[in-house]
Amino acid sequence: LIKRIWPDLQSFREGHDERKFSSLFSYLQDADSQLRRYNQKFAVGTLELTIDLIQTLRAGRSQHLREILPNIEDQAMRRSLELAVRIWLMLNVNSSTIAVGPIVPNELPLDWPIDTSLDTLIEDRFMRIPDGQRTKERMKMEGTFTAAYLVNVCGIRLSWTDHLTDHLRSDPHRQVLTVYKHKICLVNHLKSGDACPIPKDVLNEALDTLNLLFPFGDPATKRLLGKGMQASFYNLGVCGRDRELDLNKYEYWREEIQDLLHSFRRPPRTLKQLAFDRRNMMDWAAFWVTVMVAVLTLVSIPCNIIQVVYAVKGYHVAL
């Protein structure tokens, strides 16, 4: 299946590299389950044949959907094509007028209009920030700005998504951050060259955001990702890209990063945040000095009571 999705991938070795794709295999199993459950709703009834549609999409990526699919009223074929897009590019293309299955929280499906090409659909979804918001001045972010810090100190919960279109979507009310989990797919799309319709700048920046929030070699990050399928995510390392701390280098996900920075830089509001927040060492040290004084005070109270009791006993013995 991996070779069908990326036919030009030369480095994949059966058995040795399969663990890198553990999260992708899980996603493919879910797609297969959807096909089996709603079999009559799709024109192509197996996962293998659905993946074969990727070649059709690759060849016709600059064509309108109505040109790829002459019988545009064939909703079953449209569903199969959109599922092939989701498997190939991990973009949540699932038009509301023909979608089947449950709605997943924290995800925002994309509609594919019949008069729009796949290239245009992707271009419209991933847009650079306007020129007026760009500046040459370097805006360096703190090295401690990590997902582990946001989780452990700021109280944010992570929700992993299969779709790049939902990457870094946040829900401030529920304190949930959605993160794209298929880092290996970004790497393989970059290796596939022009065969992937997602611009290389988008793929590279997506990798940069993952390296920013989940820095390789950071102990807290390793602990955060050390369980379940995200262990393979961490073990991929930096994927040939250094950690980018200059906010101005991010042109597609800058607003999302700025929202996270706002949460990160907000003053501590709970005792837990005070205890582990080392951004302001003076406040952190003052908190722990206060805690130590309180502990010593509590310990000294029974000691003083015992001392008084023995003093009274000594007084009575002396009498």
pTM over 0.85: no
- Calculate what percentage of the chain has a pLDDT beyond 70: 79
Q: Is residue 47 included in any domain, yes or no?
A: yes
Q: Express each pLDDT in 67-82 by its tens digit.
A: 988 787 789 999 999 9
Q: Is residue 275 included in any domain, yes or no?
A: no
Cβ proximity of 112 and 142 under 8 Å: no
Q: Is residue 44 included in any domain, yes or no?
A: yes
Question: Which residues, in sequence order, are CB contacts of 294 under 8 Å at separation 6+?
Answer: none
The reply to whether 41 and 62 lie within a common domain is yes
Cβ proximity of 14 and 3 under 8 Å: no
> Is the pLDDT score of 55 beyond 70?
yes
Cβ proximity of 92 and 163 under 8 Å: yes
Higher-scoring residue by pLDDT: 128, 296: 128
- Which residue, 76, 110, 125, sits at the end of a domain? 125
The reply to whether 11 and 98 lie within a common domain is yes
Q: Token pair for residue 128?
A: 């650079």
The reply to whether 8 and 35 lie within a common domain is yes
- Which residue, 60, 90, 125, sits at the end of a domain? 125
The reply to whether 57 and 178 lie within a common domain is no
Q: Is residue 53 included in any domain, yes or no?
A: yes
pLDDT the model gives residue 232: 81
Neighbours of 298 (CB within 10 A): 9
Q: Is residue 214 included in any domain, yes or no?
A: yes
The reply to whether 88 and 114 lie within a common domain is yes
The reply to whether 151 and 265 lie within a common domain is yes
Separation CA 111–CA 133 (nearest Å): 28
The reply to whether 48 and 65 lie within a common domain is yes
Supply the range of the domain harboring residue 298.
Answer: 280-318
Q: Is residue 239 included in any domain, yes or no?
A: yes
- The HSE-up count of residue 253 (CA atoms within 13 Å, CB side) is 27
- Which residue, 125, 160, 187, sits at the end of a domain? 125
Neighbours of 103 (CB within 10 A): 9
Alpha helices in 65-199 (DSSP H): 65-68, 75-89, 118-125, 147-152, 183-191
The reply to whether 298 and 180 lie within a common domain is no
The reply to whether 104 and 149 lie within a common domain is no
Burial 110-120 (b: 16+ CB within 10 A, else e): bebeeeebbeb
The reply to whether 138 and 265 lie within a common domain is yes
Q: Token pair for residue 65?
A: 């959907």
Q: Express each pLDDT in 111-170 by its tens digit.
A: 999 999 999 999 999 999 876 666 666 789 999 999 999 999 889 999 999 999 999 999
Which residue in the block uniquely carries the two structure tokens 């699919």? 69
Which residue in the block uniquely carries the two structure tokens 């993160």? 179
- Kind plus residue range of the DSSP H or E element containing 9: none
Of 138-152, 250-264, 287-301, the one with minimum mean pLDDT is: 287-301
The reply to whether 161 and 247 lie within a common domain is yes
pLDDT the model gives residue 310: 65
Q: Chain centroid to CA 86: how far?
A: 17
Higher-scoring residue by pLDDT: 29, 281: 29
The reply to whether 171 and 147 lie within a common domain is yes
Q: Is residue 274 included in any domain, yes or no?
A: no
Instruction: Pick left, alpha or beta for residue 156 (phi over 0 → left; psi -120 to 50 → alpha; otherwise beta).
Output: beta
Give me the mean pLDDT over the 212-220 stretch.
Answer: 95
DSSP state of 40: G
- The HSE-up count of residue 145 (CA atoms within 13 Å, CB side) is 23
pLDDT the model gives residue 156: 93
Closest by Cα among 158, 172, 165 to 108: 165
Q: Is residue 98 included in any domain, yes or no?
A: yes
- How many domains does one find in the chain? 3
